[in-house]
Structure 1
Amino acid sequence: MGGGTDPGGDDREGAPPEARVVAARALIQGAVACRGSIEFEFEHDADGAVDFNDRLVRWLGDLGLFAAIEPLEAALLETPVGSIPRSKAIESTWACEGMAILAWSLGRVDLPSHDQLVDKFAVADALGFLGDDARSLLERPALRPLDELAAYREFCYDVHVRLRGRLKGRKPLARPIETRSIERLPLEKLRIVVREDLAIDGRPIEECVDRRVAEVERVTHHRHRASIWLVGEHPLYTETPVDT
């Protein structure tokens, strides 16, 4: 399992991935998140968890996605059910945040709020995850315009910088979130900036407790990686650096 090259893709750094590559990547992100969740199901229903994992692997094979699975993902998916360390299983479930951004780029879901967890089941359903509808997604995908994807990448960078700065006790920049990226995205109704600073739950970030800021930072980390990969800044998704 796992060849490390998305089918039909272009491995040159700087070349944005084609729509079918993004569709395959979205489904694989869903598989990674699902595999993490299966590990926790094993604690309550070992046989059911193994059966579910077998179904997941068969589905990936039926869609011809094994060649698009990167080495780090292959190692996870090939690990026997019940053998993944708890911390790694938890981290794997966060892949649903990247999946949501890839699904948005394919026009399957709305852009999620910057400070809220996605509904992973709704996103998975929109992609046809574990079903036959995923085949039509792979056969006829369409991406949003590159300038819109680039605007989201800029927005995600700004949000991530502010979140990490807050956790490290740094003072905010004069304009922590550039309005030009917000204006180019369907974000007008969201309360992103309050009193000239990034907002979480409708309040300036400085008024939020560290635990809540850290949660939003983790959400943003996975979405930021997806946004960087979408504009072609790194060929391998799992090795895409998320710098701020």
Structure 2
Amino acid sequence: MRRSKKNGTLVLISDHTNGLYDDRWIEDVFHYTGMGQKGDQSIDFAQNKTLNNSDNLGVTVYLFEVFKPNNYIYQGEVYLAGEPYQETQPDADEVPRLVWVFPLKLKEGQQEPLIDSEDILSRAVTQEKKVRKLIDGKVAERAAFAPEKPGSRNVVSKVYERNAYISELAKRRAKGICQLCEQPAPFKDKKGNPYLENHHIIWLANGGEDTIKNTVALCPNCHRKMHSLNLIKDVEKLQAIARQEYIVTT
């Protein structure tokens, strides 16, 4: 929190990259954690007091969110929309403590800005990396104090319009066999067809083409493996299969 008495403003920064505060949107309310990195927080401490009394003080409050280091996204002018409440969150030393959470809403006439889905994914990846470094006890401790109601928000994402004929041909070429692990599809869908998923060897997001030479059919496990690891040896194997199938088809 950063206050300017000269301008009568209070800037709130919710930095999702540091993993200390559990700030979250629940529908149209932003639940913002107060100041204080160690020990129980006080509602009368520094800018916690300012935010709690912002209406009486005539302070204008602005909200920014950070999903990538040094990339500040302005969300808009907000106001305290309900009574602050306490919940348990870990402090900077991973010790459980009580924090103050302030329910905030955007001023009337403003809508919650759409966040790029890639920013949400980046936040999740950053948090997962930090969690993996914790010992089992700390992970269990953090999980025990996790909010029961998860945060949610509107996002915008780029959707590629895949060619239905390419998708269908790739699946028919596979004949019910995953083209990576070479095992039968793990189950059949409601219509009795072997369940396989289309995969673009060079991802569309990376400039890959939606062509039969770049499309294969994989079981769900291998599909997830390709999107998690994308190993060179697997890419080369699939490229060789797709090229051969293309020659045969054409």
TM-score normalised to structure 1 length: 0.23
Structure (1/2) with the larger helix percentage: 1
Structure (1/2) with the larger strand percentage: 2
Structure possessing the higher radius of gyration over alpha carbons:
2
By relative contact order (CA 8 Å, sep 6+), the higher-ranking structure is 1
TM-score normalised to structure 2 length: 0.23
